[in-house]
Amino acid sequence: MDVEVDGILVAAHELKEPLATLRQLAFSFDEMSEPNELIREKMVSVSDRAIRQVNDLLKLRRLESSLPEMSPLAVRPVCDEVIRELEYLFRYNKRELFVKFPGKEQLAYANRELLFSVVYNFLLNAVHYTGDEMRAEIMVKPIKDKIRILVRDYGPALPMDVWREMQRGWVEKPTSIAMRPGSSGLGLFIASKFSKYMDAKVGAVRHRDGTSFYVDLMRSKQMSLF
Amino acid sequence: MIFVIDDNRMMAECIAKACGGEVKIFGDALMATQAIDDGLPEMIFMDAMLTGPDGFTMLNELISYSDTMKIPVVLITDARFDNLDLSEYGVVGVLSKDTVTPAEVRAYVEKYC
């Protein structure tokens, strides 16, 4: 099967899950055990995630014909925005998110929209792979002429095939559903593609109790001019 | 007691509500297997594709002990098992995540609990 058809299948699988969840949540309106307001909150959260995923796929296609606009960008506000958006999902799934940012603001050379999606997909992956009552971590740290955004989860180790692809710099295609139960790796695929468009490098570190995913962005020299 | 095992917590909660009665939700097979040591569930609703050990690893574990092999299991999954007889794994039914209704879940509960 060619890569594009395989990609469509994986995307269809990923997008079917939120639709199936929404369908079940719609049935919950009949149950008196849960206030409608809570059900609506869940439905909005599931829809938001699905819409973002579709938008990422559309962006991916658009990037094939035009390069993204890059500019010096403060990394922390982007991370904060992603954290705010995923706060509900972390709380709902009983995961904690530990945040560690350096005192001094770091400027990276990046595209805001794409960087948001990279961090979003890393954190979404962490929600999925971190165990109940456990924590995930997001850190920003300067490394030489780069700025690293790292997301660490505490869950099952990363499959070797995905890790090898990350070591090569980026994921070539979404991992086949059959090979990796629980996730198609679409989020990681999107994150690695977007990073490549920003001339950034993604990578992963395998731990015995989870995985760290990171993106190394070019550091903007703008601040040093002052 | 009924076990619902699904790494999609929202989906698991919906299934649990449809079951009614006393239900425990687990996000992965490992936690569910550990909980079985504390007490056997009357039946299990389970997704086949789970984070970590998948549903079939769990089914193999269940059929390898004389007490757990009798637990009726219903798979609620995206995967297709057309024309596959899974009864030797203790599977009494397969429901599609795309079309499952609370009434279908309740029907299994009424039959096996």
Determine the residue type at A132.
D
Residue A78 and residue A112 in contact, taking contact as beta carbons nearer than 8 Å: yes
Question: Is B46:B54 a contact under the CB 8 Å cutoff?
Answer: no
Q: What token pair was written down for B59? A: 């089914």
Confidence band of A224 (pLDDT split at 50, 70, 90): low
**β partners of residue A212:** A152, A205
Check if the beta carbon of residue A82 is closer than 8 Å to that of residue A116.
yes
Residue A123 and residue A136 in contact, taking contact as beta carbons nearer than 8 Å? yes
Interface check for A102 against chain B (CB to CB < 8 A): the answer is no
> Between residues A148 and A174, which one has the greater pLDDT?
A148
Tell if the CB–CB gap between A132 and B27 is shorter than 8 Å.
yes
> Going from the N-terminus, what domains does chain B have, and what CATH number goes with each?
2-112 (3.40.50.2300)
Position A181, amino acid? P
Residue A184's pLDDT band, with cuts at 50, 70 and 90, is low
Please name the residue that has the structure tokens 């990171």. A214
* B49 vs A83, residue with greater confidence: A83
Residues of chain B with Cβ-Cβ distance to A132 below 8 Å are 27, 31
Q: Which one of B6, B14, B31, B96 makes the best mutation probe of the A interface by having the most chain A beta carbons within 10 Å?
A: B14
What is the CATH number that goes with domain A3-225?
A: 3.30.565.10
Is A24 part of the contact surface with chain B (CB cutoff 8 Å)? yes
Taking CB atoms and an 8 Å limit, are A155 and B18 in contact across chains?
no
Backbone phi, then psi, for A211, in 5-degree steps? -145, 145
How far is the CA of B85 from the CAs of B75, B82, B98, in angstroms?
A: 13, 9, 21
| Tokens linked to A68 | 């993204």
Question: What pLDDT score does A173 carry?
Answer: 61
Could you tell me what percentage of chain A is helix, strand and coil, using 3-state DSSP and rounding each to the nearest 5? 50, 20, 25
Contacts of B52 in chain A (CB under 8 A): 155-156, 182
B52:A33 CB<8 A: no
Q: How far apart are CA A95 and CA A100, in angstroms?
A: 16
Averaged confidence pLDDT in chain B: 91
Question: What are A163's two structure tokens?
Answer: 């890790």
Q: What's residue B59's pLDDT?
A: 93
Cα–Cα dist A22/A45, whole Å: 10
User: Who has greater pLDDT, A166 or A101?
Assistant: A101
SS3 B71: coil
* pLDDT, position B86: 86
With beta carbons under 8 A apart, name residues in chain A contacting B25. none
CA-nearest of A177, A145, A178 to A14 is A177
pTM (2 d.p.): 0.85
Average of per-residue pLDDT values in chain A: 84
DSSP A4-44: HHHHHHHHHHHHHHHHHHHHHHHHHTT-SSS-HHHHHHHHH
- Residue A127 tokens read as 């929600």
The reply to whether A91 touches chain B by the CB within 8 Å rule is no
What is the distance between the alpha carbons of residues B95 and B97, in angstroms, rounded to a whole number? 6
Sign of the alpha-carbon torsion through B67, B69, B73, B75: positive
- A46 touching B, CB under 8 A? yes
* Residue A215, C-beta contacts closer than 8 angstroms, at least 6 positions apart: A118, A119, A122, A148, A149, A191, A195, A200, A201, A202, A203
Residue A88 has pLDDT above 80, yes or no: yes
- At A31-54, the pLDDT tens digits run 667 788 889 999 999 999 999 999
